[in-house]
């Protein structure tokens, strides 16, 4: 059974800690793609920018590699943002300022997880924001454990759908087949951590290789 792992970064706030976890996962996954001369610093971003002249919007993103096509690697980008508060009428500007930070030439898709007090009726806008803006709203400043679970569930489900879509015709080969296998291993690695409720305090940097290799040697029937 997976063991709960102590964080070295206990002084970090939950959102920043999650961001650091995803950076380490991104680095490990990018190494596995065996790209030559990859600049890992371009795989993540963190900046605080003005919003509406009276607030600051903190934008963070991490890129996870998906599939290579025509010698070009593509990515799924995960945003982890927060702002003190925002309103329904500001969603277009919020989205615009977020997305302009991302060079989308090599991005398959992206999901924006937006934290911050929302001034409006939260329930009826979530689906619309996901459909048109790829934004999932959390009506709070920092994530709780259940919110971190929600984020990782989004990531797992997105990648699994991509894998299943590639596999459905049974005609994959070459680099696509390698990418499918790599992504499936990654999803299979994350799933038990989520199931055992340890993902929110998982120290990726110091334990990733051992846990990942042990997971790959075990029967996948536990997932």
Q: What is the reported pLDDT for 79?
A: 98
Q: Which of 177, 184, 127 is nearest to 156 (CA)?
A: 184
113 — pLDDT class (breaks 50, 70, 90):
very high
> Phi and psi for 169 in degrees, rounded to 5?
-90, -10
Q: What is the reported pLDDT for 222?
A: 35
Query: pTM for the complete prediction?
Result: 0.82
120 — pLDDT class (breaks 50, 70, 90):
confident
Write out the H or E segment, with its range, that includes residue 50.
strand 44-51
Which residues touch 37 (CB under 8 Å, ≥6 apart)? none
């Amino acid at each position: 059974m997976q063991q709960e792992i102590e964080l070295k970064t206990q002084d970090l706030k939950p959102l920043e800690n999650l961001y650091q976890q995803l950076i380490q996962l991104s680095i490990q996954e990018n190494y596995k793609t065996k790209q030559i001369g990859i600049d890992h610093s371009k795989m993540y971003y963190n900046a605080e920018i003005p919003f509406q002249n009276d607030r600051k919007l903190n934008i963070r993103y991490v890129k996870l590699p998906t599939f290579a096509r025509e010698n070009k690697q593509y990515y799924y980008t995960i945003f982890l943002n927060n702002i003190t508060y925002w309103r329904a009428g500001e969603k277009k500007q919020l989205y615009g300022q977020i997305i302009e930070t991302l060079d989308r030439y090599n991005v398959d898709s992206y999901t924006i997880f937006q934290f911050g007090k929302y001034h409006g009726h939260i329930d009826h806008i979530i689906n619309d924001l996901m459909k048109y803006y790829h934004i999932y709203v959390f009506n709070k400043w920092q994530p709780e454990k259940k919110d971190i679970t929600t984020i990782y569930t989004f990531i797992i489900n997105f990648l699994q759908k991509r894998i299943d879509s590639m596999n459905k015709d049974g005609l994959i080969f070459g680099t696509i087949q390698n990418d499918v296998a790599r992504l499936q291993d990654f999803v299979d690695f994350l799933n038990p951590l989520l199931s055992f409720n340890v993902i929110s305090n998982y120290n990726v940097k110091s334990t990733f290789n051992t846990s990942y290799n042990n997971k790959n040697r075990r029967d996948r029937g536990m997932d």
